[in-house]
Structure 1
Amino acid sequence: MPLDLTFDDAARDQLLSDGTAGPLVRRSILPGGVRLLTETDRSVRSATVGLWLPVGSRDETPAHAGSTHALEHLLFKGTDRRSALDIATAFDEVGGESNAVTAKEHTLYHGRVRSADLPLALDVLTDMVTSSTLAPSALETEREVILEELAMAQDDPTDSGYEEFLAQVLGPDTPMGRPVGGTVESVSALTDADVRAHFSEHYRSGNLVVTAVGDLDHDAVAAQLTDRLAAGGWSLDESALPFARRPALERTVPTEGTTRGSASAVPTHRLVRPLEQTHIYLGGPSIGATSEDRHAMNVLMAILGGGMSSRLFQHIREERGLVYTVYSFSAAYRDAGLFGLYAACRPSRAEQVVEMMGAELEAMRDGGVTDDEMRRALGQITGALALGLEDTASRMGRLGSLELVQGRYSTVDEAVARMASVSAEDVRDLADRLAGSFTTRVDVGPEPG
């Protein structure tokens, strides 16, 4: 019987992979509209579980910027049943690990343990998400920790440069362009009421996605998850459906209404720092996460600046010796995206390096790519995909991304086949659109001259 790989929120249980050609993958809609996706792999003795909320920095008001990140910190500071030390000790004493991530479009709380300790990990994480005390004293302490985190990022030219690049490409005064962690001013102004309101609005059963991978039983995870969410006081209506996914917008390049042009003509946003090198970020808007061009983008990025055999590395570092580090990158969201080139060099070489980076993309537009480059790129992408999915944590993350972004399950073989279907002409066409789409340059380093 063929498997339906499109996620159906009206179906209480979906078999996404029957285990005949790989791990058993199931998706269930639990009471309250909670989404549970598991991948059972009996060849390992570990398990990783993640609790996802589709709320990130883009969902904040300007006055409350940083509240999502602050809330992530606070959930580790104690619940009605556990102190902050209890939460830390729970994972430490079984040799496990736990952490959390705040991004522009989601927040993730996750833990990795021996499979025998999965019930413990589920209990602790659900307790944190449902029953955090959100004590005002904890906010005051964590505010200082977060301010130190922001200061640390400002001390790192790659962090501060990338943050400024994202802000300029996505719009510094827009929800997408604001920094994930907020600013010193916004974090300093956050109140207990701000954080509690953010929690009440977004931390609800219909928003929750749970993904778990490893030596586990789907039904056992579902039963424990339902029990612990109920114990935390969450509403678990049997007929409730999940909240709708964040709307997606098919993004093409170029985007109307944005001034764009060649790399060397882009104005420079400069962050002056007492450094020996200038760190350069150069690029512009690009495709969103659901665009069909995303596969061509992966191939293009691999050929342009994805490794030691890439054009940027070979031509700018190996042949000319102008840089130590140079690469290309892209980022995609449900309704936005960007592409970029990065290099670090001595200040006197910055303009030459920028010209050469732009020229490499133009050369892909004008001359296309070779069969050897296509072969190497496909090998690099598929190899990295396979190696990246060797552990339960990365596979847990993949399930969460498929649920929140794509709305459809795809096997690794299917992902490889889609990548293999990209043609040299697809890559050249995308290079043609990107080569004239530079809008932003950010330099971090000393004053020029």
Structure 2
Amino acid sequence: MNGAVALPLDLPELSLTASGDALVRRSVLPSGIRVLSERVPGARSATVGFWVAVGSRDELGAEPALGDMAALPSRFGSTHFLEHLLFKGTPTRSALEIAVSFDEVGGEHNALTGKEYTCYYAKVQDKDLPMAVSVLADMFTSSVLDEAEFENERGVILEELAMADDDPNDVVGERLFEAVLGDHPLGRPIGGDNDTIRGVTRSAVWQHYLANYRPNDLVVTVAGAVDHDELVALVTASVSAAGWDLSAAARPVERRAPLAASVTRGSALSLTTRPNEQAVVMLGYPGLVATDDRRSTLSVLNSVLGGGMSSRLFQEVREKRGLAYSVYSFASGYSDAGVFGLYAGCSPKNVGVVSELLVAEFTRLAESGVTADELRRANGQLSGSAALSLEDSDTRMSRLGRSEITTGEFADLDVALGRLAEVTAADVQALAQEILSRPLSVAAVGAVEASAFDSVLGSASGSTEATAAGPVLVGS
């Protein structure tokens, strides 16, 4: 490949040879279903995913009655509910039968809910791929959302949320997104919260299901030992057998517009006080959207600053000062917003100085730039990790799904490596300066006082707005 290949929604067929002689094919069926495959030479297994470009950000809140129209209940939490409920039975398969289908062949099956998509996936031997497609198709198209199962799963989800709430790392991550993104839908927790899960009705989840799980919403991706023509025939037969009418022509749903939204910071500080032995802190700034041309530059910036054991944050905070065990930076990008963040876990008495060190290292990078050695190491780290990750069919399957749903282009390993090689030290420094100029938000969980962050918030160049509202204090 000489460059990324566009994936137009109105192109019925596409075929290309990717790095490593992998054959990538894509079909857009008349019904709007999109099927993508990557045949990997020598593979004896395959990973299949059924995707829909609907995540937690797409849930509708309650709407009051208007004229003759009845009030609409809130759908918040519906996406997470569906992730659970689609495994709970169809008119032809019970929940146990779905589980047995994969267990008896040694397969793996699960689902994930994101902020902008949901995926139901399985990994099986090549000979069991027809079974996996058939079962996932039945689940995806024909879930009955049984009332008893619905109420039972409500309890399961509440237990899942309770488990996450006991994990300071989960809590601080949710609080950071709320603080950085404010009222933007991406700031809401993916799994919902206790109030939304307790309050959502089966009717609301059912309406969410009907509105978003349709032929022209469906993207099927398979990587590994797969024949594309057989896959297309299998997907078509499976969804038809499950009850979908594919006779009507439809265009695939449009991708989200890749335009950066105007984001108003939710708070400068979100503090969850708990008597933990360790405090965890995240500092975040508005980042880049997922399709930004500078995403390779952002990857290099993240690698140099906090992407490994040779990174600046790890060396300064852990190796030189011994103030933290875990310290790193991260970047999350979505269609119209993103977050760039710094993380550390440390003794509560050190949270203030550690937070200052995180910002100081970021500031030093923005002011002085990166060295040639750092640029070389970052390129090597990112190139190597990208190549190693593609040894797994799960990663290749996910790459197909994200390419189709998010970026609208397929960029194989050679393209990705080429983009990394083009990143310059000046590019990294300029992007660091831009991100650092944006409003800073801090989220922390532990036995710490808000005053511990006075210095870091007071010195942050982009943090002058919204500080008058004060910190958001969350009880234990």
What TM-score results when the alignment is normalised by the length of structure 1? 0.94
Give 1:190 shift: 1.5
How big is each residue's C-alpha offset from its partner over 1:290-316, in whole Å with a ceiling of 9 and x where there is no partner?
A: 101111100000000001000000011
404-413 or 107-116, larger mean C-alpha shift: 404-413
Is the partner of 1:414 in helix, strand or coil? Answer: helix
Within 2, Cα distance between the matches of 1:143 and 1:358? 41
Question: Conserved in 1, the CA contact under 8 Å of 2:180 and 2:265?
Answer: no
Give 1:30 shift: 1.5
Runs (4+) off by over 6 Å: 1-4
Is the partner of 1:176 in helix, strand or coil? Answer: helix
Within 2, Cα distance between the matches of 1:196 and 1:315? 51
Aligned twin of 2:467:
none
Question: Conserved in 2, the CA contact under 8 Å of 1:127 and 1:232?
Answer: yes
Give 1:235 shift: 2.9
Within 2, Cα distance between the matches of 1:89 and 1:81? 14
Q: In the alignment, does 2:201 pair up with 1:202?
A: no
| 1:306-385 map, 5 Å | 306-385=307-386
Question: Conserved in 2, the CA contact under 8 Å of 1:16 and 1:27?
Answer: no
Q: In the alignment, does 2:41 pair up with 1:31?
A: no
Q: In the alignment, does 2:93 pair up with 1:82?
A: yes
Within 2, Cα distance between the matches of 1:258 and 1:188? 28
Aligned twin of 1:241:
251
Is the partner of 1:281 in helix, strand or coil? Answer: strand
Q: In the alignment, does 2:158 pair up with 1:147?
A: yes
Q: In the alignment, does 2:433 pair up with 1:422?
A: no
Question: Conserved in 2, the CA contact under 8 Å of 1:31 and 1:226?
Answer: no
Aligned twin of 2:108:
97
Aligned twin of 1:158:
169
Within 2, Cα distance between the matches of 1:29 and 1:238? 14
Write the letter of the residue equivalent to 1:90: S
RMSD: 1.8
How big is each residue's C-alpha offset from its partner over 1:10-32, in whole Å with a ceiling of 9 and x where there is no partner?
A: 22111132x68511110001231
Within 2, Cα distance between the matches of 1:16 and 1:250? 31
Write the letter of the residue equivalent to 2:366: R
Within 1, Cα distance between the matches of 2:238 and 2:369? 56
Q: In the alignment, does 2:398 pair up with 1:388?
A: no
Is the partner of 1:32 in helix, strand or coil? Answer: coil
Aligned twin of 2:224:
214
Aligned twin of 1:59:
58
How big is each residue's C-alpha offset from its partner over 1:221-273, in whole Å with a ceiling of 9 and x where there is no partner?
A: 0001001111122231364221111111147xxx78669xxxxxx94321011
Question: Conserved in 2, the CA contact under 8 Å of 1:169 and 1:440?
Answer: yes
Shift of the 329–85 alpha-carbon distance from structure 1 to 2, 3 Å rule, reads: same
Within 1, Cα distance between the matches of 2:19 and 2:283? 46
Write the letter of the residue equivalent to 1:236: L
Within 1, Cα distance between the matches of 2:287 and 2:35? 32
Within 2, Cα distance between the matches of 1:74 and 1:238? 28
Q: In the alignment, does 2:189 pair up with 1:190?
A: no
Give 1:438 shift: 4.0
Question: Conserved in 2, the CA contact under 8 Å of 1:54 and 1:106?
Answer: yes
Within 1, Cα distance between the matches of 2:448 and 2:330? 26
Q: In the alignment, does 2:5 pair up with 1:5?
A: yes
Write the letter of the residue equivalent to 1:47: A
Within 2, Cα distance between the matches of 1:12 and 1:169? 40
Write the letter of the residue equivalent to 1:115: D
Aligned twin of 2:70:
none
Q: How many residues align?
A: 438
What TM-score results when the alignment is normalised by the length of structure 2? 0.89
Give 1:277 shift: 1.2
Shift of the 256–136 alpha-carbon distance from structure 1 to 2, 3 Å rule, reads: closer
Question: Conserved in 2, the CA contact under 8 Å of 1:30 and 1:238?
Answer: no
Within 2, Cα distance between the matches of 1:256 and 1:187? 26
Write the letter of the residue equivalent to 2:196: S
Question: Conserved in 2, the CA contact under 8 Å of 1:281 and 1:341?
Answer: yes
Shift of the 257–147 alpha-carbon distance from structure 1 to 2, 3 Å rule, reads: closer
Question: Conserved in 1, the CA contact under 8 Å of 2:177 and 2:187?
Answer: yes
Write the letter of the residue equivalent to 1:243: V
Shift of the 2–235 alpha-carbon distance from structure 1 to 2, 3 Å rule, reads: farther
Write the letter of the residue equivalent to 2:49: G
Aligned twin of 2:126:
115
Write the letter of the residue equivalent to 2:184: T
Shift of the 292–20 alpha-carbon distance from structure 1 to 2, 3 Å rule, reads: closer
Shift of the 240–64 alpha-carbon distance from structure 1 to 2, 3 Å rule, reads: closer
Aligned twin of 1:124:
135
Give 1:4 shift: 8.5
Within 2, Cα distance between the matches of 1:227 and 1:371? 55
Contiguous gaps of at least 5 residues in structure 1: 260-265
Question: Conserved in 2, the CA contact under 8 Å of 1:126 and 1:228?
Answer: yes
Is the partner of 2:223 in helix, strand or coil? Answer: strand
Give 1:169 shift: 1.0
Aligned twin of 2:437:
436
Write the letter of the residue equivalent to 1:119: P
148-157 or 432-441, larger mean C-alpha shift: 432-441
Write the letter of the residue equivalent to 1:189: G
Shift of the 141–20 alpha-carbon distance from structure 1 to 2, 3 Å rule, reads: closer
Aligned twin of 1:228:
238
Within 2, Cα distance between the matches of 1:285 and 1:381? 23
Q: In the alignment, does 2:299 pair up with 1:298?
A: yes
Among all aligned residue pairs of Structure 1 and Structure 2, give the percentage whose two residues are the same amino acid: 47
Write the letter of the residue equivalent to 2:178: A
Give 1:140 shift: 0.4
416-425 or 438-447, larger mean C-alpha shift: 438-447
| 1:280-299 map, 5 Å | 280-299=281-300
How big is each residue's C-alpha offset from its partner over 1:303-356, in whole Å with a ceiling of 9 and x where there is no partner?
A: 000010000000111111111111001100000001000001111111111111
Write the letter of the residue equivalent to 1:223: A
Is the partner of 1:297 in helix, strand or coil? Answer: helix
Within 2, Cα distance between the matches of 1:195 and 1:238? 25
Within 2, Cα distance between the matches of 1:306 and 1:403? 27
How big is each residue's C-alpha offset from its partner over 1:24-60, in whole Å with a ceiling of 9 and x where there is no partner?
A: 1100012311000001123110011000000001001
Within 2, Cα distance between the matches of 1:193 and 1:410? 41
Write the letter of the residue equivalent to 1:187: I
Question: Conserved in 2, the CA contact under 8 Å of 1:281 and 1:443?
Answer: yes
